[in-house]
Structure 1
Amino acid sequence: MEFLVRQLNRMPADDASRRLREELRPAERQVARQLRDAGVLRRLWRVPGTLHAIGLYEAEDATALHDALASLPMFPWLEIEIQPLATHPQERETPVD
Structure 2
Amino acid sequence: MLFQVEMTVMIPADMPAETAAEIKAREKDYAQELQRSGIWRHIWRHAGAYKNTSIFDCRDNQHLHDVLTGLPLFPYMQIDVTPICRHPSSIREDDR
TM-score calculated relative to the size of structure 1 = 0.86
Kindly report which structure 2 residues correspond to 1:1-97, keeping only aligned pairs within 5 A, or say none: 1-14=1-14, 16-91=15-90
Q: Give the superposed CA RMSD.
A: 1.9
Identity %: 30
Looking at structure 2, the residues matched to 50 and 18 of structure 1 have their Cα atoms a distance apart, in angstroms, of: 19
Structure possessing the higher radius of gyration over alpha carbons = 1
Looking at structure 2, the residues matched to 21 and 55 of structure 1 have their Cα atoms a distance apart, in angstroms, of: 22
Looking at structure 2, the residues matched to 82 and 18 of structure 1 have their Cα atoms a distance apart, in angstroms, of: 29
Return the offset for 1:36: 0.9
TM-score calculated relative to the size of structure 2 = 0.86
Q: Deviations over 1:68-96 (max 9, x none)?
A: 1111111111110000002212128x8xx
Looking at structure 2, the residues matched to 17 and 82 of structure 1 have their Cα atoms a distance apart, in angstroms, of: 30
Q: Deviations over 1:52-77 (max 9, x none)?
A: 11111100111101111111111111
Structure 1: runs of 5+ lacking an equivalent: none
Looking at structure 1, the residues matched to 7 and 19 of structure 2 have their Cα atoms a distance apart, in angstroms, of: 18
Q: Give the number of the structure whose residues are more often helix, by fraction.
A: 1
Q: How many residues are matched? A: 93
Structure 2: runs of 5+ lacking an equivalent: none
